Structure 1
Amino acid sequence: MSADVGIRFPVWDLSKSQYEETDFLPLMSTPGPVMVILAVYLLYVLKIGPALMVKREPYKLTTVLLLYNAIQVVYSIYLVQKYLRHLLQHGLVPKTCFINQESERNEILFSIWLYFAAKVTELLDTVFFVLRKKDNQITFLHLYHHSIMMIGTWAYLKYWPSDTLVFIGFLNSLVHVFMYTYYGLSALGPRVAKYIFWKKYMTKFQLVQFVCIIIHYIVAVRNSECPPSSGVATFIGTNTAFFLILFLHFYRQSYNRRKTISNENVSATKCNKEL
C-alpha cells in the first residue's frame, strides 16, 4: 500500500511566526509563556486569590494603586503619541502594505508588541480587585476583556501582524489615559472620588471606540494591498462587535438602573413629606 494513501492532516507549527523578527521580541517565540500567564491569571483570580482572602480583611493598597495607575497613564500617553505619529505619517487607512517593507516592518512589529505588553500588565487590574475584595468588579465582561485582549493581540502579532492595529491601539490607549486617571484618583478615597465626573462618559467613550474600530477596520481591510485572511478579519470584527454588545449591556445596567433607583428615592421622599 502506498504511503501516500490515507487521511492527511495539516501540519500546525504554532511556533512559526509570520515574520522572523517577531520571535526576538519578549514572550513571542512560542505560545507557551503567554498561555502560562493566562492560566495562572485565571486560576488566581477565580480560585486561589478568593480562597486566600476569605478570612482576611481587604487590602487598601492606596500607594500601590496610585503608583500602578500613574505608570499606566504615562505608558498610555506614550502609546497615544507614538500611534498618532504613525497615523499622521502613513494615513488613517493606508493602501500601501507597509509591513512588507523591511524599513517599516520592525517599527510596526515593535509598536504592536508595546500594545501587547500593555495588555499583559493590565491583568493586574483583576489581581487588585481580588486583594481589595471587590468581587462585584470581577464580571464575565471584565475577565473576557482582559483575557481575549492579551491572547488575541499576541496571536495577531505572531501570525498576521498589520499596521491596521495601530488605529485600534491609538483609540484604546486614549481611553486608558482617562480610565487609569480615574482609577488613580479613586484610590485616594471617597473625598476625591466624588469630584470625578467622567466615569459615565468613559463608558460612552468606550462604546464610541468600538463603533469607530469596526468602521475603520472594514474600510482599512477593503483598502489595503495586504488585507488579512477572512478568518482574522471575521474574528476581529466579531469580537469587537461582541465587546460593543457587552459594554452596552453594562452601560444600561449601571446607569439606567441608577437613574431608576434615584427616581424611586425621589418619589418616596415626596410621599413621606405628604404623609
Structure 2
Amino acid sequence: MNRTSLTWNVSRLYHQYADPRVKDWPLMERPVTVISLVAIYLLIVKHLGPQHMANRKPYVFTKLLMTYNVSLVILTSYTLYEIFVSVLHVDFDKGCMVVDYSNTPMAIRMAGASWFYFISKVIELLDTVFIVAKKKQSQVTFLHVYHHSTMVLVCWFVTKFMPGGMKFFPALMNCCIHILMYSYYGLAALGPHMQKYLWWKKYLTRLQIVQFILATTYLTYSFMVPCGYPRLISGFGIVYSTTFLSLFLNFYYQAYIKKAR
C-alpha cells in the first residue's frame, strides 16, 4: 500500500467514525490543533520555561493561583454534575453503557459533559507552567508530564469519536478526585501557614490509587463481557489505567514509605 492510499484510508476512517455532533465545538475540528497544543506544552515545560527562568527569581502569584484553583474546582464540579445527570438517564445492558450517538437532548448533554471534561484537561496544562514559573522544576516529573499531556490527547479522542459510554465511570471518579486535589492546591497557595491544615495530602494520593484500581477493574469487565462497547477501546483503557496505577504506586512508595524509612 503506497503512502497516498494509506493517507486516504486513514482520512476515510477518521471521517467515518468521527462524531459529527462535536465537529464545530472549540478545539474539536482537527487533531492537529490539540497535537500542536500538547507539543507547545512539552516545549515550554521542558525547555523554554526552564531556560527563561534560569537567571530569574521565582514568580509569586498567590491571587492568580487561588483564582485558578477555585475556577477548576467550579468547572470540575459542573462537569461532575453533568456526567452524573447524563448517567442517570442511561439504560445499562449487562452493566455496560454504550455511546448514544442520537440527537436527543440527553445524548447531546452527554457529549457536552465529555467536552467539558476534555476542556478541563486542557486548562490543567497550566499546572506545569505555574510550577516552572515558581522554579520548582523538580516537581516536573515524568508522572506529572505524562499525566497532563496524554490526558489531553486521550480525552480529545474520546470526545471526538465516542463522547459517552463506559468511559464515564472513570471520568466520574476522576472529577471527584480533582475537586479535592484543586481544593488542596488552592489552600496550599495561601502560604506556608496553611501546611498544618494540609495533612491529608497522603490520603489524596491513596484515593488516586484506589481510583485507578477501580477504573482498571471496570474496564476489564467491559472488555471481558461483550456489550456493544468497543473492546479495542476498553483494552487500551486497561493498559492506560494500569500505567497510571504503576506510576502512582511508585510515587507513593518514594514519597511516603521510602522517605519515612
TM-score, normalised via structure 1 length: 0.85
**Greater CA deviation, 14-23 or 217-226?**
217-226
Aligned residue in 1 for 2:255: 254
1:63 equivalenced with 2:55 (yes/no): no
1:114 equivalent in structure 2: 116
Counterparts of 1:96 and 1:247, CA distance in 2: 28
**Mapped partners of 2:59, 2:87: distance in 1:** 42
Quick one: distance in 2 between partners of 1:241 and 1:107?
Answer: 29
**Aligned residue identity for 2:249:** L
Which residue among 12, 17, 20 is the counterpart of 2:10?
A: 12
Q: Which runs of 5+ in 1 are unaligned?
A: 261-275
Determine if contact 1:94/1:224 at 8 Å carries over to the other structure: no
Inter-partner Cα distance in structure 1 for 2:197 and 2:214: 29
Aligned to 1:237: 238
Stretch moving more, 23-32 or 126-135: 23-32
Residue deviations 1:236-272 (CA, integer Å, cap 9, x gap)? 1101001000000000000012311xxxxxxxxxxxx
Name whichever of 161-170 and 251-260 sits farther off: 161-170
In structure 2, distance between residues paired with 1:76 and 1:91: 25
SS in 1 for 2:59: coil
The correspondence for 1:168, drawn from 164, 167, 170, is 170
Letter paired with 1:99:
D
Per-residue CA deviation, residues 54-82 of structure 1 (Å, 9 max, x unaligned), is 11000121111000001011112112222
- One-letter identity of the residue aligned with 2:50: P
Q: Bigger radius of gyration, 1 or 2?
A: 1
Match of 1:50 in 2: 50
Instruction: Give the conservation status (yes or no) of the 8 Å contact 1:211–1:244.
Output: yes
CA contact (8 A) 1:141 1:246 kept: yes
Q: How many Å apart are 1:87 and its aligned residue?
A: 3.0
Q: Structure 2 CA distance, aligned partners of 1:218 and 1:256?
A: 29
- 1:71-90 to 2 correspondence within 5 Å? 71-90=71-90
Alignment-mate amino acid for residue 85 of structure 2: R
For 1:195 and 1:242, locate their aligned partners in 2 and report how far apart those are by CA, in whole Å. Answer: 31
For the Cα contact (< 8 Å) 2:222–2:231, is it kept in 1? no
- Corresponding residue for 1:199? 201
Runs of 4+ in 1 over 3 A off after TM superposition: 7-10, 91-98, 220-225
Q: Is this contact kept in 1: 2:118–2:156, CA < 8 A?
A: yes
Aligned position for 1:136: 138
Distance 1:95 1:172, change over 3 A: closer
- TM-score using structure 2 length: 0.89
> Partners in 2 of 1:96 and 1:59 — Cα distance?
46
Structure 2 residue matching 1:26: 3-state secondary structure: coil
Q: Deviations over 1:7-36 (max 9, x none)?
A: 964711176252211212111111121011
Q: Secondary structure at the match of 1:148?
A: helix
Q: In structure 2, how many angstroms separate the alpha carbons of the residues matched to 1:29 and 1:224?
A: 31
Please state whether the residue corresponding to 1:252 is helix, strand or coil. helix
Aligned pair count reads 254
> Could you tell which deviates more after superposition, 187-196 or 11-20?
11-20
Q: Deviations over 1:82-135 (max 9, x none)?
A: 222233333677546451443243222211111100100000000000000011
- With over 3 angstroms needed to count, the CA separation of the structure-2 counterparts of 1:91 and 1:212, relative to structure 1, is farther
Alpha-carbon spacing, 1:135–1:99, altered in 2? closer, same or farther (3 Å): same
1:217 positional shift: 2.0
- Distance (Å, rounded) in 1 between the aligned partners of 2:97 and 2:40: 40
